[in-house]
């Protein structure tokens, strides 16, 4: 009886995290759609009910910008979470979360161009040049746009190894987006500072990727030096 009791916890620990199946991923995607569209419905309700604050336009920018940033950070959380939990199937929802990040980023940029600039493209160009935080936001937005447009499986197959190189630019977007947020606010800097810390933490989890990149560059430099001699 003592042997059976000691072996029982081991069996339970192995079964505590069952492998996710295709049906689980399907319902997880349904939940992601429901939550994301629920926040979008909340935004519409706040816009029509006066719940965006004394400055509704600024409230709209704040809501959409934070939604884009939150989903972007969540996208980078999926990979380490799948690794820790040993649930590789979780990677199948990363593209969906990333697309919602771009969705919110589009709303963020469109609201700024339409409501603040009145579709004045010349003014937009001058604003990007004169305000560095807008330039950082524009770079992040362009990266998300490229990642969204190349997220289809057919495009991924056509791009081959270049697809992964392109999608590694998401790390730059994750770094620039919270800095854009930090520079854009005049008060209440604690929250954007926490976003910067979170993004740096997520990038630190991928330090091996950067080390591999350095190891690839080192042989090339040695080869170049030998050729020079």
Residue 160 — φ and ψ, nearest 5°? 65, -130
Instruction: Name residues whose C-beta falls within 8 Å of residue 57's C-beta, 6 or more positions apart in sequence.
Output: 111, 115, 116
pTM for the model:
0.82
Q: How far apart are CA 202 and CA 207, in angstroms?
A: 9
Q: What is the pLDDT along the chain (229 residues), one digit of tens a residue?
A: 444 444 444 444 445 568 888 888 999 999 999 999 999 999 999 999 999 999 999 999 999 999 999 999 999 999 999 989 898 999 999 999 999 999 999 999 999 999 999 999 999 999 999 999 999 999 999 999 999 999 888 888 888 888 888 888 999 999 999 999 999 987 888 999 999 999 999 988 877 765 554 454 454 544 444 444 4
Q: How far apart are CA 95 and CA 87, in angstroms?
A: 16
Measured CA distances, 55 to 43, 50, 62, 116, 181 (Å): 14, 9, 11, 12, 18
């Amino acid at each position: 009886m003592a042997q059976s009791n000691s072996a029982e916890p081991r069996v339970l620990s192995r079964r505590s995290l069952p492998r996710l199946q295709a049906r689980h991923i399907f319902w997880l995607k349904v939940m992601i759609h429901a939550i994301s569209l629920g926040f979008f419905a909340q935004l519409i309700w706040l816009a029509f009910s006066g719940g965006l604050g004394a400055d509704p336009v600024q409230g709209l920018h704040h809501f959409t910008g934070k939604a884009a940033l939150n989903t972007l950070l969540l996208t980078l959380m999926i990979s380490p979470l799948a690794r820790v939990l040993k649930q590789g199937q979780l990677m199948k929802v990363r593209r969906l979360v990333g697309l919602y990040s771009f969705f919110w980023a589009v709303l963020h940029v469109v609201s700024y161009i339409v409501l603040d600039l009145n579709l004045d493209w010349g003014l937009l160009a001058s604003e990007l040049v004169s305000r560095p935080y807008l330039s950082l936001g524009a770079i992040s937005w362009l990266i998300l746009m490229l990642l969204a447009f190349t997220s289809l499986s057919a495009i991924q197959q056509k791009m081959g190894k270049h697809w992964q190189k392109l999608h590694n630019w998401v790390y730059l977007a994750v770094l620039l987006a919270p800095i854009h947020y930090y520079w854009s606010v005049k008060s209440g800097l604690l929250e954007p500072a926490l976003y910067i810390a979170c993004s740096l933490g997520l990038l630190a989890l991928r330090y091996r990727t950067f080390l591999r990149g350095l190891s690839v560059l080192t042989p090339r430099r040695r080869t170049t030096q030998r050729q020079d001699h």
